[in-house]
Structure 1
Amino acid sequence: MHEVLEELGVRADLLAPQQLGELDELGYCRFDDFLTTDQVGVALGEIEALLAAAGARGGTLHLKDLLESGEVFDPLWLRPQLLAAVRHLLGPEFRISAMHYRAGRPGLGGQEQQTDTAEATGPGRWRVCNVIVALADFTTENGATRVVPGSHLDYGFVPPRGHEDHPEQVLLLGRAGTAWLVNSHLWHSGTANRSSTTRHAVLTGFNRRCGTTAYDVQPSDATIERLGSAAYLLV
């Protein structure tokens, strides 16, 4: 994987010291202007078409396997700076586990705080992380993701009951096109959408290769051909 990441332009110096410190101490870091306004619009247009084709309904909208939908979603993960941050957390032997769309409709979308793995581990041994890309502004009212900074290092952490707030939780707030890489050992969840509009986001999960499963759907020949050497991050 070293050669693949090098070919993709992944270097440690792509990350600011502040981002490295935040990943280690807080459990997440932020990428402002990760997508342009045009890229956000193109991604949302494709998502609307996919939702219509799927006849998607329900309080929280979901779409899976977005990597199979063509190059429109590649900019949401195939970025040297982001992959450098993933490597900082997981080491060089990692792969994508899933890429999906999640959107809480008005009045819905709240979750209990959770981690994405029950395995207790620590620095140098993290297993999973997620990049959250906002395709709508993340606000205090529309169901932004909440995290409890530093809880990935607190093995005695006691989550609040149900959907209650934690006194140290932080909302991930930002304009459409902002992204956050979150250590999935961090306690986090979506919050209820109290606005009148749908909150759109795409999440891409990454796993350390050792002891984990591969990308949840075997990539098609067309996807492998499109991604070239980057396809090694899917298998």
Structure 2
Amino acid sequence: MREVLDELGVPEALVPGHRADLDELGFCRFDGFVAEDAVAAMLAEIARQIEGSRQGGTLHLKGLLDQSSLFDSLWLRPPLLAAVTHVLGPDFQIREMHYRAGTPGHGGQALHMDATDRAGPGRWQVCNAIVALTDFTPVNGATRVVPGSHVDHDFKPSGAKPHPDEVLLTGPAGTCWLFNSHLWHSGTLNQSTEPRHAVLTAFHRRHSGPTLGGETLPSHETVLRLGNAAYLLL
């Protein structure tokens, strides 16, 4: 897989700041990851896709990898893939990309991991990129994380209640965060008047054990569209 990453222009080394953040905090941040016009186009396409579908308090749209090339830029980016490689090693795959939006009064979750064990450096199984398609604020359901909890095997989660060490991932639309999914995290309650739009992409160590998420294989058309990059999906 290193050959595929090299062909995609993915550097072997991260910038020092991202390396330290991933190792010590369990997450790193990419500012200005998606341009304003691209955010608007993605939201319009998502609205078209979910129009008429039955949705609950949290809006969902799965299978974005197969929906449109419009969403390829949310994962097919050398700096992001370099960060994923730092967490999982070069032999990883993408299993799912989905849209999630907590509507007003919804979106709160208990602190959780997206893996079945707490693992450790060199054995991480999964990480997630979350891209804000609207501003993430302290009141609209921004994701919360507990820095360092990915390496604290004695960590005691607080369920849906606030944790004294938690921080909110807040930032303008177009910001991306990559977090080690062994980090304790969750959505928070949307107390605003508008949905909090986001797209999440799950990266897994290849041949990893079961996780809390499902696995979706890409369509033949998607594989043809992506060419060499499709090896990261298969």
* Same fold, judged at TM 0.5 (above): yes
Displacement of 1:70:
1.5
Map Cα deviations across residues 143-197 of structure 1 (whole Å, 9 max, x no partner): 0000000000100100013x10000000000000000000000000000000001
What is the identity, as a one-letter code, of the residue corresponding to 1:72?
A: L
Instruction: Name which of 116, 128, 135 aligns with 1:137.
Output: 135
Query: Distance in 2 between the 1:211 and 1:24 partners?
Result: 20
CA contact (8 A) 2:130 2:198 kept: yes
Task: Give aligned-pair identity as a percent.
Answer: 58
What aligned pairs does 1:74-153 form with structure 2 within 5 A after superposition? 74-153=72-151
Query: Distance in 2 between the 1:64 and 1:156 partners?
Result: 34
Alignment match, 2:228: 229
2:5 maps to 1:8: no
Distance 1:223 1:212, change over 3 A: farther
Which sections of structure 2, spanning at least 5 residues, go unmatched?
none
Instruction: Name which of 183, 197, 202 aligns with 1:200.
Output: 197
Query: Distance in 1 between the 2:214 and 2:30 partners?
Result: 24
Instruction: Name which of 51, 67, 70 aligns with 1:69.
Output: 67
2:30 maps to 1:31: yes
Displacement of 1:215:
8.0
CA contact (8 A) 2:95 2:217 kept: no
Displacement of 1:212:
4.0
Alignment match, 1:42: 41
**How many positions carry a matched residue from both structures?**
232
TM-score normalised by length of structure 1: 0.96
2:26 maps to 1:21: no
Query: Distance in 2 between the 1:192 and 1:23 partners?
Result: 26
Displacement of 1:210:
3.1
Which sections of structure 1, spanning at least 5 residues, go unmatched?
none
TM-score normalised by length of structure 2: 0.96
Displacement of 1:220:
1.4
Query: Distance in 1 between the 2:46 and 2:219 partners?
Result: 20
Aligned Cα RMSD in Å? Answer: 1.4
| DSSP 3-state at the match of 2:111 | coil
